[in-house]
Structure 1
Protein backbone atom coordinates (compact mmCIF):
# COMPACT_ATOMS: atom_id res chain seq x y z
CA UNK A 1 0.00 0.00 0.00
CA UNK A 2 2.91 2.38 0.61
CA UNK A 3 4.12 1.56 -2.89
CA UNK A 4 1.32 3.53 -4.58
CA UNK A 5 2.72 7.06 -3.98
CA UNK A 6 6.15 6.05 -5.25
CA UNK A 7 4.60 4.51 -8.35
CA UNK A 8 2.51 7.62 -8.90
CA UNK A 9 5.60 9.83 -8.62
CA UNK A 10 7.51 7.66 -11.11
CA UNK A 11 4.53 7.69 -13.46
CA UNK A 12 4.41 11.50 -13.34
CA UNK A 13 8.05 11.67 -14.46
CA UNK A 14 7.52 9.05 -17.16
CA UNK A 15 4.82 11.14 -18.78
CA UNK A 16 7.34 13.75 -19.87
CA UNK A 17 9.46 11.60 -22.22
CA UNK A 18 6.67 9.48 -23.70
CA UNK A 19 3.31 11.14 -23.19
CA UNK A 20 3.51 13.94 -25.77
CA UNK A 21 4.13 14.18 -29.49
CA UNK A 22 7.29 16.31 -29.50
CA UNK A 23 9.09 13.79 -27.27
CA UNK A 24 7.81 10.84 -29.26
CA UNK A 25 8.98 12.37 -32.53
CA UNK A 26 12.38 13.09 -30.99
CA UNK A 27 12.70 9.50 -29.72
CA UNK A 28 11.69 8.18 -33.16
CA UNK A 29 14.42 10.31 -34.77
CA UNK A 30 16.98 8.96 -32.32
CA UNK A 31 15.80 5.39 -32.93
CA UNK A 32 16.09 5.91 -36.69
CA UNK A 33 19.62 7.26 -36.26
CA UNK A 34 20.62 4.26 -34.14
CA UNK A 35 19.12 1.83 -36.67
CA UNK A 36 20.95 3.64 -39.46
CA UNK A 37 24.19 3.36 -37.49
CA UNK A 38 23.73 -0.36 -36.82
CA UNK A 39 22.83 -1.14 -40.44
CA UNK A 40 25.74 0.93 -41.69
CA UNK A 41 28.14 -0.84 -39.33
CA UNK A 42 27.02 -4.23 -40.59
CA UNK A 43 27.42 -3.22 -44.26
CA UNK A 44 30.55 -1.05 -44.33
CA UNK A 45 33.90 -1.12 -42.61
CA UNK A 46 33.84 0.46 -39.12
CA UNK A 47 35.86 3.53 -40.07
CA UNK A 48 34.39 4.08 -43.54
CA UNK A 49 31.37 6.11 -42.48
CA UNK A 50 30.21 8.91 -40.24
CA UNK A 51 26.93 7.19 -39.35
CA UNK A 52 27.54 7.55 -35.61
CA UNK A 53 27.56 11.33 -35.90
CA UNK A 54 23.78 11.50 -36.40
CA UNK A 55 22.93 9.69 -33.19
CA UNK A 56 25.60 11.54 -31.21
CA UNK A 57 24.47 14.96 -32.39
CA UNK A 58 20.79 14.17 -31.74
CA UNK A 59 21.54 13.19 -28.14
CA UNK A 60 24.21 15.79 -27.34
CA UNK A 61 25.55 16.93 -24.86
CA UNK A 62 25.12 13.79 -22.70
CA UNK A 63 26.19 11.36 -25.41
CA UNK A 64 29.37 13.33 -26.06
CA UNK A 65 30.35 13.11 -22.40
CA UNK A 66 29.79 9.35 -22.04
CA UNK A 67 32.64 6.91 -22.40
CA UNK A 68 30.43 4.15 -23.86
CA UNK A 69 28.72 5.60 -26.98
CA UNK A 70 25.48 3.58 -27.10
CA UNK A 71 24.88 3.94 -23.35
CA UNK A 72 25.48 7.67 -23.68
CA UNK A 73 23.03 7.82 -26.58
CA UNK A 74 20.34 6.02 -24.56
CA UNK A 75 20.80 8.19 -21.48
CA UNK A 76 21.06 11.36 -23.56
CA UNK A 77 17.92 10.49 -25.52
CA UNK A 78 15.90 9.89 -22.35
CA UNK A 79 17.12 13.06 -20.68
CA UNK A 80 16.54 15.17 -23.78
CA UNK A 81 13.09 13.63 -24.30
CA UNK A 82 12.24 14.42 -20.68
CA UNK A 83 13.33 18.02 -21.17
CA UNK A 84 11.37 18.32 -24.42
CA UNK A 85 8.31 16.81 -22.74
CA UNK A 86 8.57 19.12 -19.74
CA UNK A 87 8.83 22.15 -22.04
CA UNK A 88 5.87 20.94 -24.11
CA UNK A 89 3.87 20.43 -20.92
CA UNK A 90 4.82 23.90 -19.70
CA UNK A 91 3.88 25.48 -23.03
CA UNK A 92 0.56 23.64 -23.10
CA UNK A 93 -0.30 24.81 -19.56
CA UNK A 94 0.61 28.44 -20.29
CA UNK A 95 -2.20 28.85 -22.83
Structure 2
Protein backbone atom coordinates (compact mmCIF):
# COMPACT_ATOMS: atom_id res chain seq x y z
CA UNK A 1 0.00 0.00 0.00
CA UNK A 2 2.88 2.37 0.58
CA UNK A 3 2.67 4.94 3.38
CA UNK A 4 -0.24 4.55 5.80
CA UNK A 5 -1.30 7.34 8.16
CA UNK A 6 -2.75 6.13 11.47
CA UNK A 7 -4.46 8.48 13.94
CA UNK A 8 -5.25 6.56 17.10
CA UNK A 9 -6.93 9.56 18.76
CA UNK A 10 -9.41 9.95 15.90
CA UNK A 11 -9.45 6.19 15.13
CA UNK A 12 -8.65 6.74 11.45
CA UNK A 13 -6.39 5.11 8.89
CA UNK A 14 -5.71 6.64 5.48
CA UNK A 15 -3.71 5.54 2.45
CA UNK A 16 -3.63 5.93 -1.33
CA UNK A 17 -5.08 3.20 -3.57
CA UNK A 18 -5.25 3.44 -7.37
CA UNK A 19 -4.69 7.19 -7.28
CA UNK A 20 -7.43 7.84 -4.72
CA UNK A 21 -7.12 8.60 -1.02
CA UNK A 22 -8.94 6.01 1.13
CA UNK A 23 -9.81 6.80 4.74
CA UNK A 24 -11.22 4.28 7.18
CA UNK A 25 -12.81 5.40 10.43
CA UNK A 26 -13.24 3.23 13.49
CA UNK A 27 -16.26 3.10 15.72
CA UNK A 28 -16.12 6.17 17.95
CA UNK A 29 -14.04 8.12 15.41
CA UNK A 30 -14.51 11.78 14.45
CA UNK A 31 -17.34 11.20 11.96
CA UNK A 32 -21.02 11.58 12.87
CA UNK A 33 -22.40 8.88 15.11
CA UNK A 34 -23.60 6.48 12.42
CA UNK A 35 -22.74 2.78 12.55
CA UNK A 36 -19.50 2.63 10.59
CA UNK A 37 -19.97 -0.82 9.07
CA UNK A 38 -23.45 -0.02 7.77
CA UNK A 39 -22.18 3.24 6.31
CA UNK A 40 -19.31 1.41 4.59
CA UNK A 41 -21.67 -1.18 3.11
CA UNK A 42 -24.06 1.48 1.84
CA UNK A 43 -21.35 3.51 0.09
CA UNK A 44 -19.35 0.64 -1.36
CA UNK A 45 -22.03 -1.29 -3.22
CA UNK A 46 -21.57 0.59 -6.50
CA UNK A 47 -17.98 1.80 -6.04
CA UNK A 48 -16.33 -1.34 -4.62
CA UNK A 49 -18.28 -4.52 -5.40
CA UNK A 50 -15.41 -6.74 -4.21
CA UNK A 51 -15.38 -5.05 -0.79
CA UNK A 52 -19.17 -5.41 -0.57
CA UNK A 53 -18.88 -9.12 -1.37
CA UNK A 54 -16.16 -9.62 1.27
CA UNK A 55 -18.17 -7.77 3.94
CA UNK A 56 -21.22 -9.90 3.19
CA UNK A 57 -19.21 -13.14 3.03
CA UNK A 58 -17.47 -12.51 6.37
CA UNK A 59 -20.19 -10.51 8.14
CA UNK A 60 -20.17 -12.91 11.10
CA UNK A 61 -16.69 -11.61 12.01
CA UNK A 62 -18.24 -8.24 12.88
CA UNK A 63 -21.02 -9.63 15.11
CA UNK A 64 -20.92 -9.00 18.85
CA UNK A 65 -19.59 -11.96 20.80
CA UNK A 66 -22.11 -14.09 22.67
CA UNK A 67 -20.25 -15.86 25.43
CA UNK A 68 -17.05 -17.87 25.47
CA UNK A 69 -15.61 -19.54 22.37
CA UNK A 70 -16.42 -23.21 21.85
CA UNK A 71 -14.18 -25.90 23.36
CA UNK A 72 -11.30 -26.86 21.06
CA UNK A 73 -9.39 -30.09 20.62
CA UNK A 74 -6.15 -28.23 21.37
CA UNK A 75 -5.82 -25.39 23.84
CA UNK A 76 -2.97 -22.88 23.93
CA UNK A 77 -0.71 -23.21 26.95
CA UNK A 78 2.57 -21.75 28.06
CA UNK A 79 4.61 -24.51 29.67
CA UNK A 80 6.51 -23.25 32.72
CA UNK A 81 9.24 -24.96 34.66
CA UNK A 82 8.05 -26.18 38.08
CA UNK A 83 8.59 -23.53 40.76
CA UNK A 84 9.45 -20.71 38.31
CA UNK A 85 8.57 -17.14 39.29
CA UNK A 86 6.37 -14.85 37.13
CA UNK A 87 8.27 -13.07 34.35
CA UNK A 88 6.58 -9.68 34.85
CA UNK A 89 6.09 -8.56 38.43
Structure of larger gyration radius: 2
TM value normalised by structure 2: 0.26
| Higher RCO by CA contacts (8 Å cutoff, separation 6 or greater) | 1
More strand by share: 2
More helix by share: 1
